[in-house]
Each structure stands twice: as C-alpha cells, then as structure tokens.
Structure 1
Amino acid sequence: MTVDPSLLDDLQWRGLVAHATDLDALREALTAGSVRFYVGFDPTAPSLHMGNLVQLITARRLQDAGHTPFLLVGGATGMIGDPKDSGERTLNTAETVREWTDRVRRQIEPFLSFEGDNAATMVNNHDWTSQMSVVDFLRDIGKHFPVNRMLARDTVRRRLESGISYTEFSYVLLQSMDYLTLFREHGVVLQHGATDQWGNITAGAELVRRVTGEQVHAFVTPLVTRADGTKYGKTEAGALWLDPTMMSPYAFHQFWLNAEDEKVVEYLRLFTFLSREEIEALEQRHAEAPFRREAQRALADAVTTFVHGERETAQATAAAAALFGGADLTDLDPAVLGAALREAGTTRVERSAGMPRVADLLLESGLVASRSEARRAIGEGGAYLNNRRVEDADAEVVDADLIGGSWLVLRRGKKRFAGVEVV
C-alpha cells in the first residue's frame, strides 16, 4: 500500500513526537511501506478523555498516511492500573472493568476505519493474559526484567517511600507483554502513547528485542497542559470527557472555544486535521487580532465535529449564538439548550406551585440581589425572558414561554444569563 512519506515531518511539526526510540530508523520504516502499529487504552474510567483523544487523532493520522492500526483495550491491564505518583490505586471490580472495556471499545470505533487495505483491528489484552499461568508469566516474561532497572523508573522510585504494591510494580511487565504478543501474532512494529507511558513503552520494545532479537519502534506525544503548566486528565479538575453523557457536546465545544490565547495554536496542531498552511494563516490572524478569537472558533468547530459530528457542532454553535447573541431560542433542540443552561447554572421551580413571576425568577436565579433590584432592572429595560425584553415588572410566565415544555432563559444585560427548569 502507498504511504505518505511526509508523515513523520508532519507529526514533528505538530509537536506530536516528544521522544522516539530511533528517529532515523522510524523514518525509514514509515516510508518503506505500511507499518502495523498499536496504541493502548486502559479502561480505568467509564469514558475516554482528552489525553486519549491525542492518541486517537495520532492513530488516525497514521492510518490516513497508509499505516495499519491495532487498537488495544486493556481488559487485563485495566484490572491493575499503571502506578501513579499520588498513591496506590483502588482496584475496580472485574465486572466494572468489563463494562468499561465495552464502553471504551464502542467509543474508539468511530474514530478509525475498519475497512480497506489498512483496516484497523481491535484487540483486548485480557484474551492472551488470561490464558497464561503465573509460572509461565514469571519464566517467559519476568526473567527479562532486571529489578534494579524497574526500581530506577521515576514513578516507582517516587513511590518507594510511601509504598507500592507488587501488583502495580508488575504493571510494566503486563504492558510489555502486549507489545511482544502483537509483534509475534500480528507483525506490529510500532507503538505510540503519551509521554507518561515512555518507560512502559520502551520496556515493551526492549522485551521484543530480548526475546526475538528484532528491533521495533516507539514514539510518545507530549502531555497536554494549560498555559500555567498544569495538566488535564481524568484525575484532574476540569476533565474533558468524550462521552456525551458525561460532558455535553455544548460544554465540549465551549471548552475549546475558551482555549487560552497562549495555547490555541498548539491545540490546533495537536487536535485538528487542518493543514499547515491553514494553521499558520490562523496563527497570523490570531497574532494580529486575538480578540476576534478566530483561532478558538476554528479549533472548537474542528475538534467537536471530529468527536461528536457536524450536527452537534452546529447545535452547540447555535446555542452559544442564541444565549450570548440574542438569537431566537425556540429554534434550538431543547436537549442542547438544557445542556447549555446546566453549564451556566439552572434553577428548578415546581410547576405545581403555579407559574412564577419573572421578577421572582430573576432573584431565585441569582441575576439580581433583591426583588426591588429585579423590578428596577425590568423598568430600565435590562431584563429578558427567552431573549425578549420584559416590559412589565409584574409579568408572569405562561405555558407558551416554556421552550421544549420546560425551559426558560433569563438574561440581565448583554452577557449575564441563567436557566430555569420548570418541573
């Protein structure tokens, strides 16, 4: 199959190659023909997140360039969990791991093609790990791992004082066995992952060399951080989930729309399929007029479309335009509107208590501090219900005001708004 010889140059320009085993050897392999590669996802949460998205997009870039992906879901490694600096993991039940494994598999499938000459293949490391006895594992895998080198790993070294179980200490053996198994059974010769997996990934490449004498390849992408250096992830505040039931497409779109000026061009390179010319043009316009937030809009639209599809992107854009720009709210899908309002903060009122007055809702929603302030805001023309100015300080909500049968949007001034759910 024909491959794109410029792939590695593009990955490097985008900042996606933080470390690699041997760049010259990797370049030679990627230009010689279709390379079989793999990337792994441990089901340690019910959804994939931003860090996983970097790997999914990287795998898609490799596949689009003519290479053949193997997507590994860690039904076995997910039972253990990679050691983390903060302390010992709480082990999830086997039932939970199986459920999350299925969820992760379903999440991965839309991002790659499972048809054609370089069709993707989904694998689960539980399939081969569960078939191996403890004695075989220790003899065939464990004998290739010097303990002194395992103790030198950063995370293990940091955990030695606070304590680390043999279970987590052995995680690197399980992940390394994945590379050896995929090399033997499928001819996989490249693994990619995140920088925090560099030790595990290189240990796998070394295991293949020790057992078979063959050279295989690896590279890792940088961790995604905010401008102040703090990271994103499922264990950090503000996690970016890919599951729409855990983070609505509207909230997802808003996240990218609010990207920091210092990071937006970096995110465009990492997370979008825009060309170098398109990104450099956006970078130039962003430098000249950052207040226009053109780069952020391009980023938000591109990433949301990739993850959730064009329709959800259009709905998220329309919701933001309606809420912040005063457009007609009745054209919005009530589910999208509800998701947007929940992000902004909503107040629930009981329909059985009778329809409330707008002034009371302004107070309950926190848009004003007192009823007199609510009446004054209405009198001055600064209060809105569903983007329509409220003229009467004693106005009551009627059934026709309820969007989708339950939602109201209150606004004070141009930018401050709140949602009300009538239940």
Structure 2
Amino acid sequence: MSVLEVLQERGFIEQLTHEAEIKELLEKEKITFYIGFDPTADSLHVGHFLGMMVMAHMQRAGHRPICLIGGGTAMVGDPSGKTDMRKMMTQETIQHNGDCFKKQMQKFIDFSHGRALMANNADWLLVQNYVQMLRDVGVHFSVNRMLTAECFKQRMEKGLTFLEFNYMIMQAFDFLELNRRYDCVMQMGGNDQWSNILAGVELIRRKEAKPAFGLTFTLLTTSDGRKMGKTERGALWLDAEKTSPYDFYQYWRNIDDADVEKCLALLTFLSMDEVRRLGALKDQEINIAKKTLAFEVTKLIHSEEEALKAQQAAEALFGGAGALDNAPTVTISPSDLGTKLLDVLTAAGIFPSKSEGRRLITQGGLYLGNDKVTDQEMILTADLFENNSLLLRKGKKTYHRIVVE
C-alpha cells in the first residue's frame, strides 16, 4: 500500500492539486515535502498533531519532511480563519518558539543525517528586496483572484490590512524558495491553507516551469463540526508544563463516542483493522476503545511511562484501582487549614476565580470525597483529611488530590 493510500484510508486527505500525478510520484520516487508551523506560542497544540502525524507517515515511507518555521511570516500574521489581526512578534520570541517546536517534533520525526529538515523562512524573507520581489513574484498574482480566497473573506468584514494581504504571496514564495534550495516539490497543510498552497503550486509551475503539488489534510474536528482541543483551561497543549499528561490523557478518554474511531485512525499508528475493531464497540464497551486511544496518544506525546502514570491515576480515581499518587495534586500549607475552602482552592488555581467556585457550589458540582459541598463559607479543617490527603471532584470527571505538606 502506498503512503497516499495509507493517508486516504486513515481519513487524512481533504484535497489534492493533481491526484493522478501525486499518486504516481509517491509510488515511484522519494520526494521532499514541507508543512509550515506558525511559531505563535512556545508549544505546539493539538491542532498541530495531524500535521506531525502526516509527516511521520510520509517519513516512514521514505519521503523527507521539511518543518518550516514561519519566522518571517509570523512577523506579518496569517489571516486564515481569523477575524482579527494577529499580534506581531519579535525575532527573539519567534526563534525561542521554533526551538521548542523542534524538541516536540523529534518525538515523531527523525532529524538525524538529513532525514528531515527544519527551516525558518526568516532566512530569506527578512533579506528580500521589496521591489525585486514585486517584480519577480508579485507579477504572477491576480488581485481579483486573491480577493476570492477563503482565507481573506473573514478579515474583509473588519478590514484586511495590506500587511496581511501579502501573506499569500510570502507563503507562495516560501514554496518557491524551498523548491530551489532543497528540491521540495509538495506543500501540505490543513484544509484552511488550501488557497495559500494553491498559490505556491501555481507560482512554481509558472515561474520555474516545473511540477509542484499541494495536498491538504482534514482539520481535527468533532462529529458535529467543532474544533477539537479546547478545554475549560484553554488549548490542549503538547507541553507537559502547559497541559499535564494526566489532563491530556483525560481529554481523549472523555471524547464523544462518535469521534473515537476517527481519532484512532488519525492520531495513532494502530493498524486499521484494530482501529475498525475498536471503533465498532458499542455501549459500555466503547470505553475500551477510549482507554486505548487515550493511552496511545499520551504515549506518542509524553512517553509510555507518562501514559502509564496517567492511566493508573485515572483508574485510581474512577475505578478504585491504580496509583492515586499520579493524580493531579495540589499541595497546601498547614496554615491554610482553618480558612475558607473557596479561598484555598482559588489560591491553589483549582478555580480561576472565587465567583466560578461559588457558581459550582450553587450548582452542586463540588465534592470533597463523596460529600457534596453546599456551603460557600465552608472552612477547610484537618479532620477532612486522611493521611494528610483529600480527594476533590469538580463536576463529573475532574479530580484533584489536595495534600497538606
């Protein structure tokens, strides 16, 4: 089975520029391709997960990935999918974020001996002569056609700046530059990048009279069309300091039944026979599939050891077995005893604000052990603890272990 068939079978592929040519190319040759990553934070998040899985599948089939950090384009901002202009960043912040990305990508991608490359488009965009670029590249772009691109439509409602209008040209130039430097013949990206990818493909074919190709993969969404990776605390990060391995595990353990098979296909390397077997489970048995998904995904991002710890903590909290020591733990001081529970939990970060804590108590969603908290003025006392430890539950599935140090 070719890598294109693998990607199609697992549900990655959304659109292709030249399907027959791409199919023949990937079967007969080993190509260099690239995916771009905007360094807008110091960690990748679950939205980048699909791109890394695509790169890993391609590299396993013998193709060479280029991970392109948008050090130049990030100083402009990609308008795709945005209604507001993105915040501009310094070169130092961009470089730091790119270094963090590479550490996370190395869990998926082998960068040794040139098997994969990491490039930064700041290397060529920040030294470009503007007039020369207009003459060499801008002449190939139709403004009328650009204005019909989906990536500009939302921004047009509030006002698209000329700064952002250049983004498509810059991304197309990236593809041209990577083609010249590394013989890169294909750009891949999320389906929201289709217009930008087409621009690069067409620029190379017009200017260089050479074949170039584009491929987009599906965005990671739920069965009802919502983007995955949003939690009550914000984005689901791949950095353990931003999203703990336990919280990461629990996110996948608790996804909707309808999304399990798709996530197993897209986010694990399990065989498709196993994916279909697990996806066919019904009623209570679907929890077996969810546990497998949560373990496999956490293993990929954080290591097998961390996946086992998260699994054991979940079993301790929900099934009465496993190691409670691995549950999310908040340490408080003996001096916190005798003060209001709500004050302690807010100071410990379990509640972002006292008002949210009061609202949860009013709704009957806060428990200490098996006892529901009903008094917003409740005092945290030593007799509530057993061996200096107390289990707290928020809502149905969020647990914290409170320990007196």
TM-score by length of 1: 0.80
Shift of 1:408: 3.6
Aligned match of 2:290 = 296
Shift of 1:96: 2.4
Residue deviations 1:103-147, cap 9 Å, x none?
22322223211236x711111111111221112221222111111
Q: Secondary structure at the match of 1:160?
A: helix
**Which of 5, 8, 28 in structure 1 is aligned with 2:4?**
8
**Which of 13, 28, 42 in structure 2 is aligned with 1:46?**
42
Runs (4+) of structure 1 exceeding 6 A deviation are: 234-237, 360-366
Q: Secondary structure at the match of 1:104?
A: helix
Aligned match of 2:401 = 419
How many positions carry a matched residue from both structures? 380
| Distance change (3 Å), C-alpha of 1:42 and 1:235 | farther
Q: Is the CA contact (8 Å cut-off) linking 1:151 and 1:157 kept in structure 2? A: yes
Paired with 1:86 and 1:236, the residues of 2 have a C-alpha distance of: 22
Q: Is the CA contact (8 Å cut-off) linking 1:44 and 1:81 kept in structure 2? A: no
Paired with 2:392 and 2:261, the residues of 1 have a C-alpha distance of: 35
Aligned match of 2:309 = 315
Letter in 1 for 2:401: G
Paired with 2:397 and 2:219, the residues of 1 have a C-alpha distance of: 34
Q: Is the CA contact (8 Å cut-off) linking 1:232 and 1:239 kept in structure 2? A: no
Paired with 1:273 and 1:16, the residues of 2 have a C-alpha distance of: 13
Paired with 1:363 and 1:93, the residues of 2 have a C-alpha distance of: 38
Aligned match of 1:374 = none
Q: Is the CA contact (8 Å cut-off) linking 2:38 and 2:71 kept in structure 1? A: yes
Q: Is the CA contact (8 Å cut-off) linking 1:258 and 1:296 kept in structure 2? A: yes
Q: Is the CA contact (8 Å cut-off) linking 2:279 and 2:286 kept in structure 1? A: no
Shift of 1:229: 1.3
Paired with 2:92 and 2:12, the residues of 1 have a C-alpha distance of: 35
Q: Secondary structure at the match of 1:172?
A: helix
Gapped regions of structure 1 (runs ≥ 5): 371-376, 384-392
Q: Secondary structure at the match of 2:178?
A: helix
Shift of 1:411: 7.3
Q: Is the CA contact (8 Å cut-off) linking 1:75 and 1:125 kept in structure 2? A: yes
Residue deviations 1:344-400, cap 9 Å, x none?
xx6x754136x669xx9799879x989xxxxxx99xx966xxxxxxxxx994757xx
| Distance change (3 Å), C-alpha of 1:9 and 1:408 | same
Q: Does 1:208 align with 2:191?
A: no
Shift of 1:187: 0.7
Letter in 2 for 1:309: S
Aligned match of 2:391 = 409
Aligned match of 2:252 = 256
Letter in 2 for 1:422: V
Q: Secondary structure at the match of 1:122?
A: strand
Q: Does 1:175 align with 2:171?
A: yes
Paired with 2:120 and 2:108, the residues of 1 have a C-alpha distance of: 18
| Distance change (3 Å), C-alpha of 1:282 and 1:161 | closer
| Distance change (3 Å), C-alpha of 1:148 and 1:234 | farther
Q: Does 1:240 align with 2:236?
A: yes
Paired with 1:49 and 1:416, the residues of 2 have a C-alpha distance of: 21
Q: Is the CA contact (8 Å cut-off) linking 2:257 and 2:286 kept in structure 1? A: no
**Which of 305, 309, 316 in structure 1 is aligned with 2:299?**
305
Aligned match of 2:103 = 106
TM-score by length of 2: 0.84
Shift of 1:418: 4.6
Farther-moved stretch of structure 1 (15-24 vs 134-143): 134-143
Aligned match of 1:390 = none
Shift of 1:410: 5.1
User: What value does the CA root-mean-square deviation take over the aligned residues?
Assistant: 3.4
Q: Is the CA contact (8 Å cut-off) linking 2:32 and 2:66 kept in structure 1? A: yes
Larger Rg: 1
